[in-house]
Amino acid sequence: MEFSQSAYGRLVEEIFLRFPSVQKTDFAKAYKPGLEGMEAFCEALGHPERAFRSIHVAGTNGKGSVASLLTSALASAGLRTALYTSPHLVDFRERARIVSGDTFSLIPQEYVFDFLTTWEPYFMEHGLSFFEITTGLAFKWFADEKVDAAVIETGLGGRLDSTNVITPELSVVTTIGLDHCAQLGNTLAAIAGEKAGIFKPGVPALVGESNPETEPVFDDKAWMMCPLIYADKVRPSLWHLRQDILRKMDLQADVQEKNLRTVLAAIDILKEIPGFKVLSDAERVREGIVDTARRTGFHGRWERLSDLPFVIADIGHNPQALRYNFDQLRRYVDEGRCSSLIIVYGVMADKDLDGILPLMPTDATYIFTAPQTSRALPAEDILKRFTAFRGGQAIRAYSAPTVRQAVQMALQLAQTLSGQTSRSASADKPVPPLVFIGGSAFVVAEALPLFR
């Protein structure tokens, strides 16, 4: 079969349909724990995972940000750096990219097409999962491109995740929270045990934050096997620059301060390892971190989609992440950066909505919606549970069956409210309402193209 745009589109869609992805179906159908299939696939591919130096990143929240920040720092310092993340938001090829200097490139459509057509018989014969296929695809491309380093984000958990066939230069666990409990366990300690499964003998391990419930798990896993450092217990060498970096960086969520500390601690470890000495150039590292979103094409993390109207999107989806998001939204109102909040919100049915409802700002207008995946909780169900939580009164809460309709409603409401906005205390100009789109990566994925 020869490559063409239409043939490529059909093939990628077929892969989604024939090999279930969590973006199209529930975890029970898509999740395939265990490394046997991935190990065999890597062997068939000629072990591409051994062709490049790597950094492995796991965690409940923040792993995508930490992986991207590290990638940008490495690329700015002069290393041609690959990045593997999931899920993608708009384009399937977002999962695998290479960052060189201040530009990034996604895996080419032609490469994806050739790989899938060549290896499809193997996928079928061995019953590979969607994630095993995409992981093998990324590893093979990175190896063929002879990258200097690759930052590899886990898909789910760590111990049994398909990416855990690599032996990295550094293992990083960002944070631990209660998410994907059906697959990883119902306690922080159990989930920490799964994340700590990426620790390797003799390979330094970095944990983003200490916690009385998870520390013993990490300590026991690392004991007599690998050095272990907690980012919040050390002072990274570039920590004195944090306020300048946070003020200038293009990732503006409050939670990035925590992620920044993890990244700076990781850089201190890496720059002592042969092949990563270039990270000793503090100014180039700082430039890379500040410019992460543009340099790597990183989307959906407190991303400002529009100024007029004022629109921000973030893929945070569990109580741990949404607490930061909702607190930051409240602060925006308190500081006069917006006059009111309009929140477009959708959630997957397996998420802890009962733990999220108490975190939601009480003075916002809500438009509940559902992205086009079977995992989504219907908008009407969210509205009913929200109304019940508010004691049967949800005066400013509505539902829209699709993300597109929800966004359109929010923008129309923002336009109406703009004519009623107050004026800033510090400047004689109208203060706009803020439209926030979030609750799920799938909601943000469907919203992003509406603003491009």
Give the residue-averaged pLDDT of 173-178. 88
Give the residue-averaged pLDDT of 349-354. 92
Q: Which pLDDT does position 442 carry in this prediction?
A: 94
CATH no. of 303-451: 3.90.190.20
pLDDT in tens, 194-212: 999 999 999 999 999 999 9
pLDDT in tens, 248-286: 999 999 999 999 999 999 999 999 999 999 999 999 999
pLDDT at 393 over 80: no
Give the residue-averaged pLDDT of 106-125. 96
Per the model's pLDDT, the better-predicted residue between 7 and 430 turns out to be: 7
Starting at the earlier edge strand, list the strands of the sheet with 341-345: 303-306, 310-314, 434-438, 341-345, 365-368, 397-399
Give the residue-averaged pLDDT of 357-381. 95
Give the residue-averaged pLDDT of 166-177. 95
Strand partners, 377: none
CATH no. of 5-296: 3.40.1190.10
Q: Which pLDDT does position 178 carry in this prediction?
A: 74
Residue where the block lists tokens 């979103």: 293
Q: Which pLDDT does position 185 carry in this prediction?
A: 74
Domain with CATH 3.90.190.20 in the chain: 303-451
pLDDT at 426 over 60: no
- Give me the chain's average pLDDT, please: 92
> Percent of the chain having pLDDT more than 90?
85
Q: What is the pLDDT confidence band of residue 425, given thresholds at 50, 70 and 90?
A: very low
Domain with CATH 3.40.1190.10 in the chain: 5-296
Q: Which pLDDT does position 30 carry in this prediction?
A: 52
Instruction: Tell the burial category of 140 from Cβ atoms under 10 Å away from its Cβ (0-12, 13-18, 19+).
Output: buried
pLDDT at 452 over 90: no
Give the residue-averaged pLDDT of 219-241. 96
d(CA 201, CA 349): 38
In the structure encoding, which two tokens stand for residue 296, read together? 């790597």
Q: What is the pLDDT confidence band of residue 181, given thresholds at 50, 70 and 90?
A: low
pLDDT at 31 over 70: no
Produce one character per residue of 239-277: b if its CB has 16 or more CB atoms within 10 Å, e if not: eebbeebbeebbbbbebbebbbbbbbbbbbbbbeeeebe
CA 117 to each of CA 12, 92, 177: distance values in angstroms, whole numbers, following the listed order: 10, 16, 39
Q: Which pLDDT does position 34 carry in this prediction?
A: 81
Q: Which pLDDT does position 180 carry in this prediction?
A: 67
Q: What is the pLDDT confidence band of residue 423, given thresholds at 50, 70 and 90?
A: very low
Q: What is the 3-state secondary structure (H, E, C) of 68-109?
A: HHHHHHHHHCCCCEEEECCCCCCCHHHHEEEEECCEEEECCH
Q: Which pLDDT does position 21 carry in this prediction?
A: 61
> Worst-scoring range by mean pLDDT, 8-12, 31-35, 95-99, 397-401?
31-35
pLDDT at 429 over 80: no
pLDDT in tens, 64-76: 999 999 999 999 9
Q: How far apart are the first and last CA of the chain?
A: 32
Q: What is the pLDDT confidence band of residue 27, given thresholds at 50, 70 and 90?
A: low
Give the residue among 255, 279, 258, 250 at the shortest CA–CA distance from 170.
279
